[in-house]
Amino acid sequence: MKIKSFKLSWFRGSAQQAILDTHSKSVVIYGPNGSGKSTFPDAFEYLFRNGKISHLTHEYSGRKQEKGVRNTHAGENSSELVFTFEDDKKASIAINKDGTNSFNFEPEDFKDIINKCEASHIILRQDEIAKFVNSSKGEKYSALLPLLGLSGLETVIENFSNLQQILAEESQLQKTEQRFADLMEEAKQVLPSFEEKEIQELINNIGKRYIVTFPKDHSELIEKLSIAIGEKIKKINSEIKRYTILRQIDNENLIDKFEDLIKNQEKSLHDVDSLLGRKLEVLEKSSTFSKELKEEDRILCPSCGQEIERTKYIAHVESELGHLSKVMEIYQKAKQSRKLFSDSIKLIFQRIDDEDVSKWLEQEPHKELKFSLKKISELRINETQESFTKEKLDIIKSNICIISDKIKKEVGKTPPTVEELIRDKDTVNIIKKIPEIKALNKKIKEVKNIINVLEQTKMSIHQELKNKTQCIINQISKDVMDIWSRLHPGEPIEDIHLSMPDSTDKGIDICLKFHGVNQLSPRITLSEGHRNSLGLCIFLTLAKVSSELDQPILLDDIITSLDREHRSFVADLLMDDFSGRQILLFTHDREWFSELIYRLPHSNWNFMKLKPWDKPEIGLQWIGSLSEFDEATSLLSIDITSAGNKARGIMDNNLSIIADKLRIRSLQYIRGDKNDHRGAVEFLEHITSEAEKSNRFRKRKESSGSYEVYSEPINDWKTTKSLLISWANRASHGGYVTSAEVEKLIEMCRKSLDFLKCPDCGEFVWISNQESRKRLQCSCGKLQWRYD
Amino acid sequence: MSADKNDSKEEKLSIKRIIKASLDDFQGTNKEAHGILISHNDEGFFESRQTPKPLKELANQLLGTISGDDTSDEN
């Protein structure tokens, strides 16, 4: 799936047309900051993310990113992107002014291949390089999941989870559980237990309070009881009122009063009463008469007719009056008893005059009571009553006994309180619901049983997923560590590996040893540069793992935080491990670009340069020549000394790389910063010396095919060295140099470096190591640098 | 490519086996529901992403195996 070309119109930094022809090779694209080189990764991302660019996902780019993806000066022009891949597969996108777009694929099913590609495993940008390292455990897991090839297991887990949820919804499990819990709470308040025997006993006890006959069938009994309690509740007020009235009647103690009446009446008979009245009248007159008598008078008693003395007569009258007063007392008692009894009778009839009591008396069980009351009523008993005849008394006696007895019985049946009624009602209701409680319990158990089985199955799959993930991340860890150790040889950051924390199912983190101490995350101890480097290692590992579709890899300014030495290692890695993959490498680092030109085989790599950005209407522009010396030459007309300086700078940089590539032993070469203080002259001197004295540089003769010492460059290198010492130094130190001198200097420098490049294969002499590094040579073997 | 296909087939068989083994305990509890789940597993139902509709149908089939009217069970 190598890309052959991009053609962009009015997309991001491109104007009318920007073409990047890769010829199916890997490409290094150099462009200074702001030259628009990221337009190409953006275009690729737009294709692979189906019309989205992640770094443009913000509120200012518009809903369809129309403010970001189109050139600001596109006007009415539509933006177009055309990608041509190997085998003439093509993808083209037209983006309208409003951001709407249309994708076209040739052949149509090429779309499926594009859709399979994961953009985050294809494109790595400078600002995203440590994104994976800095992301959360869950984000790391999600990023790795497509690569783990375990989406099948994830699908199974998801299906089981969804099925559990739907099962719970369809069975209304939550509602059922709530209903069950509510009923159980109700039951707890009123039922001692769910034991059948205890419940039966409870029903019987309640039943006694409300019903007379007990149906044999349990349900029928509960139903009858429920109705009876309901009725009772409806009549509760009238019943309590009636009970109060009957209780008041009972409290009148009618029988006692009647007995008093009988007793007192017996003492004070009707005829004695009248006699007493008359006798009392006579005695009162006699008393008055006796007071008018003289002391010596003897008189005949008007009461008994005997002749007696006045004093005796007076004493006799007084004695008679005394006797009469006692009888009077009995008389008064009898009268009082009658009053009390008649008052009670009156009160009873006032009470039973109540509507509810009257209705109650109409009921069959109370007919006898009603009849007795009627009989008493007919006697018209009142407080003025003198005395009762025996017949009357007999009627009263027989009826008040019935009345008192009946009322006492009713008063004995204390009506239930409202609380008791409610409690009984609740108890019966909950007993009625016991079958429902049991059914709910059974349903909940059965539904949960299914859900639990699904959960167990899901967990088994989870475990399998975890095991396989562990296995795969172990392999990835090994690759990451391998790449890391090649980018950071000998550094005390070891045992870098991905791990699955126990605390989460879907999480992955990176662990490592820092100076021998285990670290749970690289974010704890690693510098930004190291984190970026680790991010690069992980990206490259994942890119290797996801190589099924052989997608190109786009690296946009990824070495910014790496020093020169580590950049060199990145170049090595790309050559060694990714020689089969197409890489599009974008950089703004001129030195690295130069190094890559020397180091990467031109048979597999193209090198391109972008001009500094000018204006939106012009857009991206390629520089025709790759040669830095062309740039130096172009400076001649502007500033001669700058041109000389530029030539010297080019030689400093390039010869440093060349000395490294040629492993110039006399320099006691150490890669990296220790070479920084060395200049072009020193490098050239040593290269020349090794080539001359050790006959290292050889060239194959066309005719014989044998190799001979390649001495032609040696003279030129010597000349170049002398020019660098004289003219270049002068230019560097502000001295006077002529245009012709600098022109000659540039020419000789260019020629000196060109000697190392094979005229036939176009590769540098160090591209291939031969026979365990006994010699270096170009791809075709025409040029050799020998160590034997 | 052929090896890949074999791997994928093996993987699917492995998933089916794990599901089947996990469901085995269920056979004694709810034979009918067990049968439904096993038959879906055999058809590869769980291995492809399912929309709510077929999952709902399966859920209702499983719920159909619950009688709910037997109250002999005590609390």
Mean local confidence (pLDDT), A211-233: 87
- Please state whether the predicted TM-score (pTM) of the whole model is above 0.90: no
Mean local confidence (pLDDT), A142-147: 76
pLDDT confidence of residue B3: 43
Contact (CB<8Å) A446/B30? yes
pLDDT confidence of residue A151: 77
Mean local confidence (pLDDT), A392-419: 86
pLDDT confidence of residue B56: 96
Contact (CB<8Å) A457/B11? no
The residue type of A656 is S
Least confident of A225-229, A234-238, A694-698: A234-238
Among A136-145, A315-324, A352-361, A441-450, the range with the most confident prediction by mean pLDDT is A441-450
Distance from CA of A521 to the nearest CA of B (A): 33
Write the DSSP symbol of residue A276.
H
CA distance A125 to A44: 12
pLDDT confidence of residue B17: 87
Give tens-digit pLDDT for A554-586.
Answer: 999 988 888 878 888 898 898 888 888 999 999
Contacts of B59 in chain A (CB under 8 A): 163, 166-167, 169-171
CA distance A464 to A442: 33
Check residues A660 and A269 and name the one with the higher pLDDT. A660
Interface test with A, best of B10, B13, B46, B51 (most A CBs within 10 A): B46
CA A306 remoteness from chain centre: 127
Q: Band of the pLDDT at A385, cuts 50, 70, 90?
A: low
What number of other Cβ atoms are within 10 A of residue A541's Cβ? 23
Contact (CB<8Å) A439/B23? no
Contact (CB<8Å) B50/A456? no
pLDDT confidence of residue A697: 94
Check residues A184 and A325 and name the one with the higher pLDDT. A184
Give the dihedral sign, CA A144/A149/A151/A154. negative
pLDDT confidence of residue A272: 62
pLDDT confidence of residue A671: 55
Least confident of A172-176, A285-289, A629-633, A695-699: A285-289
Least confident of A138-142, A146-150, A249-253: A146-150
Specify whether the backbone of A271 is left (phi greater than 0), alpha (psi in -120 to 50) or beta. Answer: alpha
The residue among A197, A244, A199 whose CA lies nearest residue A225 is: A199
pLDDT confidence of residue A170: 93
Strands across the sheet with A775-777, in order?
A: A707-709, A697-700, A783-786, A775-777, A768-770
Distance from CA of B28 to the nearest CA of A (A): 12
**DSSP state letters, A476-538:** HHHHHHHHHHHHSTT-SEEEEEEE--TT-SS--EEEEEETTEEES-HHHH--HHHHHHHHHHH
The residue among A213, A210, A34 whose CA lies nearest residue A621 is: A34
Contact (CB<8Å) A464/B62? no
pLDDT confidence of residue B73: 42
**Is a pLDDT exceeding 50 seen at residue A160?**
yes
Mean local confidence (pLDDT), A138-159: 82
Contact (CB<8Å) A162/B46? no
**Residues 3-62 of chain B whose Cβ lies under 8 A from any Cβ of chain A:** 11-12, 14-15, 18-19, 21-23, 25-26, 29-30, 33, 37, 45-50, 52, 55-56, 58-60, 62
Distance from CA of A543 to the nearest CA of B (A): 19
CB pairs under 8 A between A and B: 103
Contact (CB<8Å) A156/B19? yes
CA distance A21 to A19: 6
pLDDT confidence of residue A63: 86
pLDDT confidence of residue B13: 65
Burial B36-71 (b: 16+ CB within 10 A, else e): bbbebbeeebbbeebeeeebbebbeebbeebeeeee
CA A16 remoteness from chain centre: 48
Backbone angles phi, psi at A5, to 5 degrees: -160, 155
Q: What is the ipTM of this complex?
A: 0.88
Contacts of B48 in chain A (CB under 8 A): 155
Cβ partners under 8 Å of residue A756, min gap 6: A658, A713, A764, A765, A766, A783
Give tens-digit pLDDT for A508-520.
Answer: 889 999 999 998 8
**Is a pLDDT exceeding 50 seen at residue B74?**
no
Check residues A328 and A537 and name the one with the higher pLDDT. A537
* Residue A509 contacts residue A501 (beta carbons within 8 Å): yes
Give tens-digit pLDDT for A443-484.
Answer: 999 999 999 999 999 998 888 888 888 888 898 899 999 999
- CA-nearest residue to A150 within chain B is B11
Helix (H) or strand (E) holding A700: strand A697-700
Cα distances (Å, whole numbers) of residue A545 to A39, A148, A480, A532, A785? 27, 9, 11, 20, 37
CA distance A748 to A724: 10
Mean local confidence (pLDDT), A276-296: 71
pLDDT confidence of residue A20: 93
* Residue A40 contacts residue A29 (beta carbons within 8 Å): yes
Residues belonging to chain A? 788
Contact (CB<8Å) B75/A438? yes
Contacts of B47 in chain A (CB under 8 A): 152, 155-156
Pairing of strands A18-21, A3-9: antiparallel
Write the DSSP symbol of residue A577.
H
- A755: which 2 tokens? 């000697």
Strand runs labelled E in A214-342: 298-300, 307-309
Paired strand residues for A497:
A511
pLDDT confidence of residue A304: 64
Q: Band of the pLDDT at B5, cuts 50, 70, 90?
A: very low
Burial A616-635 (b: 16+ CB within 10 A, else e): eeebbbebeeebbbebbbeb
Mean local confidence (pLDDT), A635-661: 87
Paired strand residues for A493:
A514
Distance from CA of A252 to the nearest CA of B (A): 55
Distance from CA of A91 to the nearest CA of B (A): 26
**Is a pLDDT exceeding 70 seen at residue A275?**
no
**Is a pLDDT exceeding 60 seen at residue A422?**
yes
Among A240-244, A373-377, A401-405, A583-587, the range with the most confident prediction by mean pLDDT is A583-587
CA distance A552 to A1: 7
Mean local confidence (pLDDT), B17-44: 88
Peptide bond into A501 cis (omega under 30): no
pLDDT confidence of residue A668: 62
CA distance A188 to A182: 10
Mean local confidence (pLDDT), A627-651: 87
**CB-nearest partner of B46 from A156, A169, A447:** A156
Q: Band of the pLDDT at B70, cuts 50, 70, 90?
A: very low
pLDDT confidence of residue A466: 83
**Is a pLDDT exceeding 80 seen at residue A293?**
no
**CB-nearest partner of B66 from A447, A453, A461:** A447
